[in-house]
Amino acid sequence: MSALHLVRHGNVAELRLDNPSKLNAFTLEMLEAVEPHCVEIERDDGIRAVVVSAEDSRAFCAGADILAWSELAPREFARNWVRYGHRIFDRLARLAKPTITAMNGHAFGGGLEFAGATDLRIMSPGTTLALPEAAVGIVPGWSGTQRLIRLLGEPLVKEMALFGRRISAERAHAAGFAAEIVEDPRARAFEIAEEQATRSSCAIEVAKYMIHAAVEEDRGAMIEALGAGMIGPTKDREEGVTAFREKRKPNFPGK
């Protein structure tokens, strides 16, 4: 059974890391669980927001489990670990519904990249961020040098990735990466998520598409999704589908 669980709390879905013996480090099974959970969230119109949390108060996520990738051949490591993990984290980033991460303790490597794939981050005062990959002879592989540059800025990412420095919650908040610093991030994340039920889910989804298109987060798909949303309610689309079913030439009204 995967140590990544999806739990429903009314209108809020919780994606919960549960590998405390390894400080919630990602295993292959945990990575593989992300995509089907995202599909379930996407298809359930009753879910209005997603909280990403972790079971262990010592660490949100210590990164990728070294034992899960250290025995892989170089080609397997690049293709089946780095590229696969990147695609999985992109899937979380591109959820149509708003996502909020509650962070306690350490968020290192892949754990920091996982949090970076969500829309909002709430941290406890003791949260620390790091990209420690160079200490074991590798480099960030799940968007640490790409998406995190946009979210944290080049100087902070260089501090972590090149110099091995840890970034405090206060510095992350000053950089805009953390929205709030509170004693109970999970409770606060749920408060924010539950507020979503009072807002238009359609407007939030479209706003997220527009923002992602602006920052080139899957820009092509976001633009085409917006286009599909515009063409979907038209009489032309209705006529085109009807004509196809009736096996006749369509007569588009231009509306």
Indicate if 113 belongs to the active site. yes
Q: In this predicted model, what pLDDT tens digit does every residue of 100-159 receive, in sequence order?
A: 999 999 999 999 999 999 999 999 999 999 999 888 888 888 888 899 999 999 999 999
Indicate if 133 belongs to the active site. yes
Cβ(124)–Cβ(78) below 8 Å: no
Cβ(87)–Cβ(147) below 8 Å: no
Q: How far apart are CA 167 and CA 186, in angstroms?
A: 21
Q: In this predicted model, what pLDDT tens digit does every residue of 27-67 receive, in sequence order?
A: 888 988 999 999 999 999 999 999 999 987 789 999 888 77
Q: In this predicted model, what pLDDT tens digit does every residue of 18-35 receive, in sequence order?
A: 999 899 999 888 988 999
What is the three-class DSSP state of 45?
coil
Q: Write down the domain spans for the chain.
A: 4-197, 201-246
Q: Which is catalytic among the residues 133, 154, 183, 238?
A: 133
Fold of 4-197: 2-enoyl-CoA Hydratase; Chain A, domain 1 (3.90.226)
Q: How far is CA 29 from CA 5, 71, 139, in A?
A: 11, 16, 22
User: pTM of the entire structure?
Assistant: 0.88
Q: In this predicted model, what pLDDT tens digit does every residue of 191-212 receive, in sequence order?
A: 999 998 788 998 999 899 889 8
pLDDT at 138: 81
Q: How confident is the model at residue 1 (pLDDT cuts 50, 70, 90)?
A: low
Q: Which is catalytic among the residues 32, 35, 113, 180?
A: 113
- Relative to beta strand 59-61, strand 106-108 is parallel
